[in-house]
Amino acid sequence: MNIGQAVLEALESLSGNKLRSGLTILGIVIGVAAVIAMLAVGTGAQQSITGAISGIGSNLLFVFQGNFQEDVRNPKPLTEADAYALNDQFLAPSVAAVAPTVSDQLKITYGSEQKTAEVSGITPEYLTIRNYTLLEGEPINENHVLERASVALLGTEIADALFQRRDGLIGETVRIEGQPFRVIGVLASKGGGAFGSQDNVVLVPFTTAKNRLIHRNRDRIDIIFIQAIDSKSVNQAAEEVTQILRSRHRIVLGANDFTVFTQQDFVQTAQTITGVLTIFLGGVAGISLLVGGIGIMNIMLVSVTERTREIGLRKAIGARKRDILIQFLTESSLLSFFGGLIGIGFGWVIAFVVGQIAQANQTPIAPKVGIDAILLATLFSTAVGLFFGIYPANRAANLEPVEALRYE
């Protein structure tokens, strides 16, 4: 028996009991659709998170107080002097710009409206390093910092919450912890990021924040943002920053009392986490494929029992054991293959619906059905059909012709 003949006979056999075949295929459809949808959502989440991290700036490095990997006792705080030292072009030629910041969660009010947001004290370099642009107004400049001006840039989330609009806000006055600040600009939306929403922010001059809003001991700062001269110089810049800070903190031996992260570190961490999540979701969805495979085996065993006399007759007129084996394996494989094809379509629909729901809820997830997920689900579903069809097919092939013909 050749493959073409086996396929035709399998189609004829399956079409003879359409309802049973359809219900059997349904298990595979659900399994494949679940795998496709889960992998699509996982891939979409990964791209969304890594895209948001990449969007917080270009060629970025972040310097934090303390060592995130080793326990260091009494770490020295980061200071303004540390930030200024990193601007030394002789010691750090790979560093293009440095922006020390202080930040805290503070209450912002306008009339009867209020919202809690992250208020950051920044220098003029901050906007460039973080790739912030303005919808309207002017950026914080050197004069604002020197004069300790009471001016503020609002994120779009704050503008929406307090004013229900994003334009025409120049000159308005908001209160931060009860103190009046004049709005000089509105930041363009950037969405979520490695440090939470990048739109639920208020930016004020660095000196104003330190002296009036966010009190720190001496010249302590919370984080230093650094921009390398180009993407190829990020690792070199990290090494230069490390050496300067070790020297300033008088670290001769032992671990650093600070942590330098590069943008790529955050991207790789996010990819690792979302990759594990995607595999987990795909594995959970794959269980339903196994359930569908068990359904195929069950139906094929019933089919073998029902067609015992037919099998005996075929063997009596010359059918070989291999022919019977191929016949039943073809039927089980076709069941899973058709289920896989239909499941791909349903999986794409589910992923599309999830994307629309996420978009309606302003969640930045765009599920993506990749060709690798389609091939994986199709091949796996076909393999499930073959695997779970082996036992029934082998049972049918091993029937003795005389006993099979006598079966009632």
**Residue boundaries of the structural domains of the chain:** 3-53+273-406, 77-248
Overall residue count recorded for the chain in this entry: 408
Q: What value does the CA radius of gyration of the chain take, rounded to a whole number of Å?
A: 32
Write down the residue that tokens 């994986």 correspond to: 376
> What angle is formed at CA 200 by the lines to CA 107 and CA 52, rounded to 5 degrees?
155
Q: Tell me the C-alpha distance between 4 and 15, whole Å.
A: 17
| DSSP category for residue 105 | E
Give the pLDDT score at 152.
Answer: 94
Q: What is the pLDDT of residues 36-51, one digit of tens each?
A: 888 787 777 777 766 6
**CB 349 within 8 Å of CB 38:** no
| DSSP category for residue 220 | B
Give the pLDDT score at 363.
Answer: 65
The pLDDT-based confidence of 229 (bands split at 50, 70, 90) is confident
Q: What is the pLDDT of residues 344-360, one digit of tens each?
A: 888 888 888 887 777 77
Least confident of 35-49, 105-119, 194-208, 382-396: 382-396
Q: Tell me the C-alpha distance between 132 and 146, whole Å.
A: 22
Residue of 384, 389, 386 whose CA lies nearest to 300: 389
Q: What is the pLDDT of residues 249-271, one digit of tens each?
A: 888 777 788 888 877 766 676 67
Q: What is the pLDDT of residues 141-180, one digit of tens each?
A: 999 999 999 999 999 999 999 999 888 899 999 999 989 9
